[in-house]
Structure 1
Amino acid sequence: MTTSGISRRGALRMFGIGALSVAGAGALGACAPSGASTSSNGGDTKSKDFDFTSWSLNEEAAKPSIEKIIKAWEKAEGSKIRAVSYPYNEYLSQLTLKLGGGETTGAVHLDIAWLAAIAQMGKLAELDSTAMKGGYTNVALESGMYDGKQYGLPWNTGSIGVIANSKLLEKAGIKKHPTTIEEFEGALRELKGLGNGIVPYAAATKVAQLKDIFPWMQTFGCTLMDGDEVTIGDDASIDAVTWYKKLHDEKLIASDVDRFDARALFGQGKAAFYDDAIIGKGVTSAQSKDKTLADAMQPMKRPVLRSGDTPQALLWGGVIAIVKGKGQDAATEFALHTTSDRATTTEYFASRALPPSTTVGLSDPKVAQDTFTTEWTEKITDTATGSPFWQFAQNAQIEEAVAKQVQAVLVGKSKPKDAMKKANEEISALIRR
Structure 2
Amino acid sequence: MSQTTPSLSRRGVLGALGAGALALAGASACAPSAGGGGTAQSVSDDGVKNFTFTGWSLNEASTKKPLADIVAGYEKSSGAKIKTVSYPYNDYLNQVLLQVRGGNATGAAQCDAAWLATMKATGKLTDLTKTAAGAGYTDAALALGKVDGVQYGLPWTAGAIGMVGNQQLFDKAGIKKIPTTVDDFEAMLESLKALGNGIVPYAAMTKVDQLKDIIPWMWAFGSPVVENDKVTVGDDGSVEAVTWYKKLYDKKLIAPALDRFDARALFGQGKVGVYEDAPVGRGAVVAAAKNKDIEKQLVPFARPVAKAGDKPVAFAWGGVLVVLAGKGSGAAAKFARSVTADTATQATYFAKTGNPPTTTASLADPKVAGDTFISQFSKVVTPTARTDPFWAYPQYAQIEQALATQVQAVLTGKSSPKQAMSDAREAMQKLVKN
Same fold (TM over 0.5): yes
Partner of 2:312: 311
Residue by residue, what CA displacement relative to the aligned partner does 1:32-54 show, whole Å, maximum 9, x if unpaired? 962367899xx995332222111
> How far did 1:80 drift?
2.2
> How far did 1:16 drift?
5.4
In 2, Cα distance between the equivalents of 1:38 and 1:175? 53
Partner of 2:37: 34
> How far did 1:139 drift?
1.8
Superposition map of 1:234-253 within 5 A = 234-253=235-254
In 2, Cα distance between the equivalents of 1:422 and 1:94? 35
**Letter matched to residue 400 of structure 1:** Q
> How far did 1:282 drift?
2.4
Partner of 1:363: 364
Q: Secondary structure at the match of 2:114?
A: coil
> How far did 1:379 drift?
0.6
2:192 is the counterpart of 1:191:
yes
Partner of 1:300: 301
2:268 is the counterpart of 1:272:
no
Residue by residue, what CA displacement relative to the aligned partner does 1:312-348 show, whole Å, maximum 9, x if unpaired? 1011111100000022111111001001111111111
Indicate how the Cα distance of structure 1 residues 250 and 25 shifts in structure 2: closer, same or farther if over 3 A, else same: closer
Indicate how the Cα distance of structure 1 residues 256 and 362 shifts in structure 2: closer, same or farther if over 3 A, else same: same
**Letter matched to residue 183 of structure 2:** E
Partner of 2:84: 83
> How far did 1:167 drift?
0.4
Q: What is the aligned-residue identity percentage?
A: 51
Indicate how the Cα distance of structure 1 residues 218 and 28 shifts in structure 2: closer, same or farther if over 3 A, else same: closer
Q: Does the 8 Å contact 1:179/1:304 carry over to 2?
A: yes
Q: Does the 8 Å contact 2:25/2:398 carry over to 1?
A: no
In 1, Cα distance between the equivalents of 2:208 and 2:140? 29
Number of aligned positions between the proteins: 415
Structure 1 moving runs of 4+ over 6 Å:
36-40
Partner of 2:172: 171
In 2, Cα distance between the equivalents of 1:357 and 1:339? 7
In 2, Cα distance between the equivalents of 1:27 and 1:190? 50
**Letter matched to residue 268 of structure 1:** Q
Indicate how the Cα distance of structure 1 residues 288 and 21 shifts in structure 2: closer, same or farther if over 3 A, else same: closer
**Letter matched to residue 222 of structure 1:** S
Two-structure CA RMSD over aligned residues (Å)? 2.1
Q: Secondary structure at the match of 1:292?
A: helix
In 2, Cα distance between the equivalents of 1:407 and 1:145? 31
Q: Secondary structure at the match of 1:62?
A: helix
TM-score by length of 1: 0.91
Unpaired runs of 5+ in structure 1?
A: 1-14
Q: Does the 8 Å contact 2:126/2:152 carry over to 1?
A: yes
2:101 is the counterpart of 1:97:
no
> How far did 1:73 drift?
1.1
In 1, Cα distance between the equivalents of 2:21 and 2:246? 26
Indicate how the Cα distance of structure 1 residues 289 and 235 shifts in structure 2: closer, same or farther if over 3 A, else same: same
2:18 is the counterpart of 1:17:
no
Superposition map of 1:27-426 within 5 A = 27=30, 29=32, 34-35=37-38, 45-426=46-427
In 2, Cα distance between the equivalents of 1:28 and 1:136? 30
Residue by residue, what CA displacement relative to the aligned partner does 1:265-303 show, whole Å, maximum 9, x if unpaired? 101111010010011222211231111000000101111
Q: Does the 8 Å contact 2:40/2:126 carry over to 1?
A: no
